[in-house]
Amino acid sequence: MGTGRGRFYRKGQVPPVSELKSKIIEALDEAEFVLGWTATGSGAAAPARFHNAGEAEDAVFDSTCVHNLAVQLPRLKDKTVGIVAKSCDARSIVQLAAEREVDLERVKLIAVDCPGMIDVKSIRRSFGFGASIEDDGTSLRIASAEAEREEFIVAKCRGCEDRDGGAGDPGNHPLREKFYSMSAVERRAFWRDHYSRCIRCYACREACPMCFCRDVCIMQTRDPHWIGGGVNSAEAEMMQLIRVNHLAGRCSGCGECERACPVGIPLMLLIDEQNRVIQEMFGYRAGIDPEAKPPLLSFNIKGDIWEEE
Amino acid sequence: MRIGVFVCQCGTNIAATVDTEKAAAAGSLRDVHHAETIQYTCSDPGQRAIIDAIREKELTRVVIAACSPRMHETTFRRAVTRAGLNPFMMDMVNIREHCSWVHSDVDTATGKAIDLTSMGVARVRKQASLFSSKVPVTNRVLVIGGGVAGIQAALDIADAGLPVTMVERGPSIGGNMARLDKTFPTLDCSSCILTPRMVEANQHEQIDLMVNSEVDTVRGHVGNFEVDIRKKATCVIEEKCTGCMICQEKCPSRAPDEFNAGVGESKAISVPFPQAVPLVANLRKEHCRQFIRGKCGVCKKVCKSGAIDYEQEDEVTTERFGAIVVATGYEPYDWREAYPDYGGGQYPDVITSLQYERLLSASGPTGGHVRRPSDGEEPRQVVFISCVGSRDESVGRPFCCSVGCMYIAKQAILTKEHIPESQSYVFYIDIRAGGKGYEEFTRRAQKEYGAVYLRGRVGKIYPSKGKLMVMGTDTLSGEQVEIEADLVVLAAGFAAAEGAGELARKLNISYDQYEFLSESHPKLRPVETNTGGIFLAGACQGPKDIPGSVAQASAAAAKAIGLLSKGELETSPMVAAVNQTRCTGCFKCRDVCPYNAIEAVEARDGHQTARVVDSLCHGCGVCNVACPPAVISLKGYTDNQLIAETLELLR
């Protein structure tokens, strides 16, 4: 790692990368491997697995470590593993634990303070692929010019409550204001247009830590035949509505689905709204308490609704 | 696939609003090889027509558009079975309750009937043959509550040869009836007719009597309930106690007398009443000096049979039952808070009718001599007030207690018999005397025993010079009435026994806002609950007199006996099923299942998958919805059937 390979200036990393490495090595005492990030030639960090102290030398943590590594955990149920996790990733892990997909005893959590991840994709879109990006977690320089960091961090980080300078308003999707100013007819057209680009690559599902049904997913089965195989707006909409429903009360809002979408469908616009409603109705946020039961996954015969009858 | 469609006219019930011929046009749908309308499909010729059509046209599936499946599903399942089809290859479409009865416009109703029938065809196309299985039942019945209803039910069931466990919360069986002096309208001595039944229940070989016991938890389902019963520690070893009462005599700690409804006093250790069954002392720790001050031990010293054990602890036993009869009874409505104008419990000589019952009883605290609580004087002027906490919207108790009018008449008669020079006044709203010999009885109280009946409510009671001034209105004469009373008896209404709602939740049966337990159907299923295998007896279901309670208890017993008589139960095949090859083992189904019907099984590759225990599953479908990859389906209501139906509607 270092400035030589990437285009990132990492002197102000939190935690210092040496500390991170020693934590990884410490976790390897028990863990078979540790999930973390390594630097790549493109400049953006990539997920990696560290099996030993030697490999751990390549570990990095910077503001391009946007991936939610918790997505791998349900597949590693039978192993003891370590994981480097930002606070949003940790919420996914907690939610997975609540659903018994993760045994917290077997996961060695290495928590890192996150300065807010920068949105490499949008910077490249605006400044061209070759533009240099330098970020130390507080100040950002794009193409050697000073840039307003808050403008270039990913949407979910803007509303993050666990980050210094975070707005504390989760679900603050960039398109939210625009979308809710539309009429119902316009909204219909908005979604139809977005869904028409869906290529059914299922990247949204694969990137989602909570979508652990994987190859038995209802989106691909024809028995029961809830959804057809066609690549068109209607099927894509059905697919997303099912997905959103399945995440009700379970989504921690990590935003990986939208980030993974190769055609740029604003999936978090839907999810954020659902998360907001669920918090409002049930006072429940996913990924806070591993003992909690998601409101839509509990069958209570006692409670307010029952008493009213 | 050869489908037959039969559209019922139900006389004019359906045909008047739905053009049944048009509805039968679903016959033009794919796979439909026969369609006809029948005047009364449920009639013998109607069923004959279905059977003939199945045979002649070699139909393999049948749609019957008629009334609600709640009415005739069984009828038609049997009919298609007679024709050689699997009973579940028949599906009903409700074009009466859902169509003709709720619409007035023929075109709209017909359109809807066509849609519903076509949807039925789409559904039945995806139907699979289903087979019910049989599960053995536990031949033992649990009776909860040892009042007259519980005793009657237990005896009836035990006499039929089935073992019964009777669980009673209190220290003795007998319930409220054991507290009564005489019963209306025959003036039979209550305990004289009840105690033989209590003794019989205690001595019956098939009845296991558990007093001081409560139901902790209930698992399982009809035919096989598993119940944890908690026997509360009473510090008295039941098998050793002879009921000699020497402990009670020597006990230095006073305690309220619960059996005597709070009139008179008892001791911390006591036998509840002389005819108690079982005749065993029980110790109330909250009043006992041994437990309050940590030293006393008098009862232990005087007990000759060594039956006292201060270290005794609650015992929980688990037993299996095939059926449960709930007979938790009632308690008098606690009027004190709701009626401050009657003194709210401040005046000792304003008592409830149950307390008066104890004053009248020869086994009561006054030995059957009516003495008022305040000064032990014999009352001369007694005022009875009916409907205290009954038929009174203003205190949120709008229902009639159904027995108040009768027992007031009885108590007025008994008052005169006890104290010939006394005068009774009765404030009433209406006199409800609907039973056999009841009306004559209330007349007798007035004519032969001189009770003065005043129609109206009492506005206020206040004490004055050792007496109670009762101010009311005689609405017939329109005059204000003021009576100087020595004793006021309130006919307190019925309330469900304390904790009835909590027990109902344990049993998963429903109850109303007053915690009276709900029957499945007020007319046709009056002793059943909505949970299979649980039956109701007596006043737990609503206010009732003794004959009503006993009759319902016998009915509940008959239902329990009938249920268990075959030794096995046929389970509904319409239960959930897991496609285990696709199950991810997330067990969200187990989280939501209200019947604990999901178990984990290990697949060959070692990963855990869910399985539905057919005999526990009620087919409620909650797991079906919760399953993310939709690998759980409800047989007979599969996702594919619902999708097919919906697509047909949208077509």
Two tokens, residue B534: 């649980």
Whether the per-residue pLDDT at A168 is higher than 70: the answer is: no
What ranges make up the beta strands (E) of B553-636? 568-570, 576-578, 598-602, 608-612, 632-634
CB atoms within 10 A of CB B548: 18
Listed residue (A80, A81, A94, A87) closest to A117, CA to CA: A87
Two tokens, residue A117: 């991840």
Whether the per-residue pLDDT at B57 is higher than 50: the answer is: yes
Per-residue model confidence (pLDDT) at position A98: 87
- Domain B331-495 sits in CATH at 3.50.50.60
Between strands B381-388 and B423-428, the pairing is parallel
CB atoms within 10 A of CB B364: 25
Two tokens, residue B229: 């019963």
pLDDT digits (tens, 9 = 90+) for A31-45: 999 999 998 877 788
Cβ–Cβ under 8 Å, residues B64 and B8: yes
Per-residue model confidence (pLDDT) at position A167: 57
**Average pLDDT of the segment spanning B422-442:** 95
Query: Is A244 touching B (CB cutoff 8 A)?
Result: no
- Cis ω on the peptide bond leading into residue B420 (within 30° of 0)? no
Per-residue model confidence (pLDDT) at position B584: 87
Cβ–Cβ under 8 Å, residues B54 and B83: yes
B-chain residues near A217 (CB < 8 A): 629
pLDDT band at A127 (very low <50, low <70, confident <90, very high): confident
A-chain residues near B638 (CB < 8 A): 224
Taking CB atoms and an 8 Å limit, are A212 and B586 in contact across chains?
A: yes
What Cα–Cα distance (Å) separates residue B529 from each residue in A303, B144, B323, B496, B500? 22, 14, 12, 16, 14
Cβ–Cβ under 8 Å, residues B372 and B379: yes
Chain A's closest residue to B589, CA to CA, is A297
pLDDT band at A11 (very low <50, low <70, confident <90, very high): very low
Two tokens, residue A10: 């990492």
Nearest to A299 among B583, B594, B631 (CB): B594
Whether the per-residue pLDDT at A113 is higher than 90: the answer is: no
A-chain residues near B631 (CB < 8 A): 216
Lowest mean pLDDT among A11-15, A94-98, A122-126, A136-140: A11-15
**Average pLDDT of the segment spanning A37-56:** 90
**Nearest-angstrom CA–CA distance, A235 and A200:** 9
Whether the per-residue pLDDT at B406 is higher than 80: the answer is: yes
SS3 B266: strand
Whether the per-residue pLDDT at B324 is higher than 90: the answer is: yes
Chain A's closest residue to B582, CA to CA, is A216
- Locate the domains of chain B by residue range: 3-125, 139-231, 233-317, 331-495, 575-634
Whether the per-residue pLDDT at A2 is higher than 60: the answer is: no
Interface of B with A (CB under 8 A): 505, 508, 582-584, 586-588, 591-594, 622, 626, 628-631, 633, 638-640, 643
Whether the per-residue pLDDT at A10 is higher than 50: the answer is: no
Two tokens, residue B105: 């416009």
pLDDT band at A7 (very low <50, low <70, confident <90, very high): very low
Protein fold of B575-634? Alpha-Beta Plaits (3.30.70)
SS3 B544: coil
Per-residue model confidence (pLDDT) at position A9: 39
SS3 A297: helix
CB atoms within 10 A of CB B229: 19
Nearest to B584 among A216, A293, A302 (CB): A216
**Average pLDDT of the segment spanning A239-253:** 90
Chain B's closest residue to A97, CA to CA, is B586
Nearest to A218 among B592, B622, B630 (CB): B630
Chain A's closest residue to B508, CA to CA, is A301
pLDDT band at A8 (very low <50, low <70, confident <90, very high): very low
pLDDT digits (tens, 9 = 90+) for B610-628: 999 887 888 989 999 989 8
In this structure, whether the domain defined by B3-125 belongs to CATH 3.30.420 is answered with no
Q: Which helix (DSSP H) or strand (DSSP E) does residue A33 occupy?
A: strand A33-38
**Nearest-angstrom CA–CA distance, A134 and B558:** 85
Beta carbons within 8 Å of A78's beta carbon, 6+ residues apart: none
What is the residue-wise DSSP string for B28-72? Answer: GSTTEEEEEEES-TTSHHHHHHHHHHHHHTT-SEEEEEES-HHHH
Select the more confidently predicted residue: B470 or A223.
B470
What is the residue-wise DSSP string for A231-294? Answer: -SHHHHHHHHHHHHHHTTTT-----HHHHH-TT---HHHHHHHHHHHHHHHH---TTS-TT---
Work out the minimum CA distance from A151 to partner chain B, whole angstroms.
37
pLDDT digits (tens, 9 = 90+) for B230-247: 999 999 999 999 999 999
Taking CB atoms and an 8 Å limit, are A213 and B633 in contact across chains?
A: no
Chain A's closest residue to B644, CA to CA, is A225
**Average pLDDT of the segment spanning B5-9:** 95
Per-residue model confidence (pLDDT) at position B474: 93
Half-sphere CA count of A93, side-chain side, radius 13 A: 27
Whether the per-residue pLDDT at B637 is higher than 60: the answer is: yes
Taking CB atoms and an 8 Å limit, are B628 and A218 in contact across chains?
A: yes
**Average pLDDT of the segment spanning A52-81:** 91
Right CATH for B139-231 from 3.50.50.60, 3.40.640.10, 3.30.465.10, 3.90.930.60:
3.50.50.60
**Nearest-angstrom CA–CA distance, B130 and B120:** 17
Work out the minimum CA distance from A225 to partner chain B, whole angstroms.
6
- Residues of chain A with pLDDT > 90, as a percent, come to 41
Whether the per-residue pLDDT at A298 is higher than 80: the answer is: no
Lowest mean pLDDT among A158-172, B48-62, B286-300: A158-172
Work out the minimum CA distance from B156 to partner chain A, whole angstroms.
34
Whether the per-residue pLDDT at B497 is higher than 90: the answer is: yes
pLDDT digits (tens, 9 = 90+) for B439-484: 999 999 999 999 999 999 999 999 999 999 999 999 999 999 999 9
Taking CB atoms and an 8 Å limit, are B586 and A213 in contact across chains?
A: yes
A-chain residues near B593 (CB < 8 A): 299
Beta carbons within 8 Å of B213's beta carbon, 6+ residues apart: B167, B168, B169, B229, B230, B231, B232
Query: Is A297 touching B (CB cutoff 8 A)?
Result: yes
**Nearest-angstrom CA–CA distance, A250 and A99:** 9
Whether the per-residue pLDDT at B114 is higher than 90: the answer is: yes
Residue type (1 letter), B305: S
A-chain residues near B512 (CB < 8 A): none
Long-range contacts of residues B613-616, Cβ cutoff 8 Å, at least 24 apart:
B614/B133, B614/B571, B614/B575, B615/B133, B615/B135, B615/B221, B615/B223, B615/B224, B615/B571, B616/B220, B616/B221
Per-residue model confidence (pLDDT) at position A181: 95
pLDDT digits (tens, 9 = 90+) for B70-95: 889 999 999 999 999 999 999 999 99
**Nearest-angstrom CA–CA distance, B462 and B517:** 38
Listed residue (A187, A184, A201, A171) closest to A276, CA to CA: A171
Work out the minimum CA distance from A299 to partner chain B, whole angstroms.
5
- The pTM of this model reads 0.70
Work out the minimum CA distance from B626 to partner chain A, whole angstroms.
7
Nearest to A297 among B592, B629, B630 (CB): B592
* Equal CATH topology for B3-125 and B139-231: no
Two tokens, residue B523: 């007319």
Nearest to B591 among A218, A224, A297 (CB): A297
SS3 B232: coil
**Nearest-angstrom CA–CA distance, A115 and A137:** 5
Beta carbons within 8 Å of B30's beta carbon, 6+ residues apart: none
A-chain residues near B630 (CB < 8 A): 218, 221, 224, 226
